[in-house]
Every structure is written in C-alpha cells, then in structure tokens.
Amino acid sequence: METFTIREAAEACGMTYEAMRARVDRGTLRAGKRREDGARTIPKSELQRLGLLPGADVATLRIELDRLREELKTHRMLTEHAESATAAERRARELIEETMHKERAEKQSLALQLRELEQAQESTTVKLQQIATASFFTRRRLLREFRAQADA
C-alpha cells in the first residue's frame, strides 16, 4: 500500500503543507501510523477517497458508476418482480370476473326455470281445482287432457 508523508501528499495533491496538515489535524483526512522519524503517513487510498489526487476523480467516478450499476440491477429486478406480481394479480382478477359472470348467468337461468316451474304449478293447481269441482263426465275429460299434456 502506497503511503505519503503530509509534505509528499501536499505536493502530490497540489496543496500547501499547512493546508494538508490542517486537514489531518481536523480529522477530515485520516493519517496512518507515524514513521520512525515521527512523520505521519497518509495512505494513497485516503487521498483518492477524498478526490484530492489529480485523476482521483476518474477513480471516484468509476467506483460511483459501479455502485450505480449495481443499484440499477437491483431496481430492474424489483421492477420485474413487481410486473410479474401485477400480471398474476391481473390474471387472478380476470378469472374471478369470468367465474362471477358464469355464476350470474347460471343464477339467471335457474331463476327462469323457477318461474317456469311456478307457472306450471299454478296451471296444474288451476286444473286440479277444475277437476275437483267438475261433474263426473267433465272430470274424466279433464283428466284425459291433463294426462295427455303430462305425457307430451
């Protein structure tokens, strides 16, 4: 790992020694261990992280580009997941609506059959009342007509 003294880092970054030392003293620039002669060292990666080295902008932009690519990949996967969930929900809704329409049609058909049976019951009730109140010969004629309608 390449390291610089504060003076070397200032020269490499095009800054004054005092400005670089002030950054280290404030803590905005992390300095590493002191050398045997007492000089503090700054890793090159730290200067690049802060964008202080000439050309460090390109490296920083590449790192940011990689991060954004990963983020875009994640967003695309989330979008695909959401779209597939939406498509599944749409299909489920279509199936529910289709079933509901079939049930409604069956209900209407059964209601129509019920009305027809009720009318047939009313007609039969009327005929039975006629048979019950009719004379002997009329009753026999009505019973024959009733049986003929029932067979047809």
Domain-wise residue ranges, the chain: 3-54, 64-147
pLDDT at 1 > cutoff 80: no
Q: Is 144 left (phi over 0), alpha (psi -120 to 50) or beta?
A: alpha
Give the model's pLDDT for residue 79. 97
Give the model's pLDDT for residue 59. 65
- How does 44-72 read in b/e, with b if 16+ C-beta sit within 10 Å? eebbbbbebbeebeeeeeeeeeeeeeeee
Categorize the per-residue pLDDT at 49 as very low, low, confident or very high, splitting at 50, 70 and 90. Answer: confident
| pLDDT tens profile 11-30 | 999 899 999 999 999 999 88
The structure's pTM equals 0.44
Give the model's pLDDT for residue 152. 73
Interval 72-81 mean pLDDT? 96
CA dihedral 126, 131, 132, 135 (to 10 degrees): 140
Q: What percent of the chain has pLDDT over 70?
A: 97
State which CATH number among 2.30.30.100, 3.50.50.60, 3.30.1360.200, 1.10.1660.10 fits the domain covering 3-54.
1.10.1660.10
Type of residue at 124: T
> Mean pLDDT of all residues in the chain?
90
CA dist., res. 121 & res. 119, Å (int): 5
CA dist., res. 127 & res. 90, Å (int): 55
Give the model's pLDDT for residue 56. 62
